[in-house]
């Protein structure tokens, strides 16, 4: 059974700092890994999707990497802003249970002005 | 529509009542997913449709939960005889398979 862990559970940083969020998964047989952002009381907003054959994806100040063999992904946020404050979730779509994505419990980020 | 639409956004039900939650996916997306999210946790998979076929319902917690997508577009998640432990946010997502998931705003169910 796929298990996804996100560390740390919460993170507080001053504005402008670069930061890294971590995601680890137990089964490397995956189709893809996706990072999401969730604001309080809202749904999930897709940030980046990394296919299993890819090593990284970039969008603006965000960069996500994938090391499938070690079961790890990182989300790098450059020059953090207060508007980045949210919960960040990673999800892994496995090959065994096709179509089913397994989520971590998220990292809650607070960026202080 | 431009995104995944869910209704109602909020539902309060008395224990024992039946509820129905609706999801209108992004036009053209063949895959549709239902997830349940408890406070402070990540979403948990409930069920998955490809067009009108329900390919995986392994995450449905009991036989009180039922989902359908009869015409391969709009989907309804029905919960019969609601219990307090059913209180959660129910999220719907659509997408291509395999590929990027797009989520709605969710339906927050509170069972009193």
pLDDT (tens digit, 9 = 90+) per residue, B56-72? 999 999 999 999 999 98
What is the secondary structure of B34-89 as a DSSP string? EEEE-TTS--EEEEEEETTEEEE-TT--STTEEEE-TTSS-EEEEESS--GGG-EE
Q: How far is A46 from chain B (nearest CA, A)?
A: 7
Taking all residues of chain B, what is their mean pLDDT, rounded to a whole number? 94
> Are A99 and B58 an interchain contact pair (Cβ–Cβ within 8 Å)?
no
- In chain B, what residues touch A41 (CB-CB under 8 Å)? 108
> Are B101 and A46 an interchain contact pair (Cβ–Cβ within 8 Å)?
yes
Mean pLDDT of B43-51: 95
> Are B45 and A101 an interchain contact pair (Cβ–Cβ within 8 Å)?
yes
B97: pLDDT strictly greater than 80: no
> Are A43 and B41 an interchain contact pair (Cβ–Cβ within 8 Å)?
no
In order of A113, B21, B36, B70, the CA distances from A43 in angstroms are 25, 15, 12, 25
Position B87 scores a pLDDT of: 97
Mean pLDDT of B8-24: 97
Q: How far is B81 from chain A (nearest CA, A)?
A: 25
Position A1 scores a pLDDT of: 87
pLDDT grade, residue A97 (50/70/90)? Answer: low
């Amino acid at each position: 059974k796929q298990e996804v862990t996100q560390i740390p559970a919460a993170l507080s940083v001053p504005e402008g700092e670069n930061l890294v969020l971590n995601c680890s998964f137990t089964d490397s047989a995956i189709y893809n890994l996706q990072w999401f952002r969730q604001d309080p009381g809202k749904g999930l907003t897709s940030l980046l999707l990394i296919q299993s054959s890819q090593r990284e994806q970039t969008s603006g100040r965000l960069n996500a990497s994938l090391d499938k063999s070690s079961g790890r992904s990182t989300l790098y946020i450059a020059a953090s802003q207060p508007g980045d404050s949210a919960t960040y979730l990673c999800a892994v779509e496995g090959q065994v249970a096709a179509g089913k994505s397994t989520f971590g419990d998220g990292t809650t980020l607070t960026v202080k002005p | 529509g431009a995104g995944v639409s869910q209704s109602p956004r909020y539902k309060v039900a008395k224990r024992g009542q039946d509820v129905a939650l609706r999801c209108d996916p992004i036009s053209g997306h063949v895959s549709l997913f239902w997830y349940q999210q408890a406070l402070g946790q990540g979403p948990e998979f409930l069920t998955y449709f490809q067009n009108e076929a329900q390919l995986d319902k392994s995450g449905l917690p009991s036989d009180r939960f039922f989902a359908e997508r009869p015409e391969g577009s709009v989907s309804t998640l029905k919960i019969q005889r609601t219990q307090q432990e059913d209180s959660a946010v129910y999220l719907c997502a659509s997408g291509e398979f395999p590929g990027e998931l797009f989520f709605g705003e969710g339906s927050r169910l509170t069972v009193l």
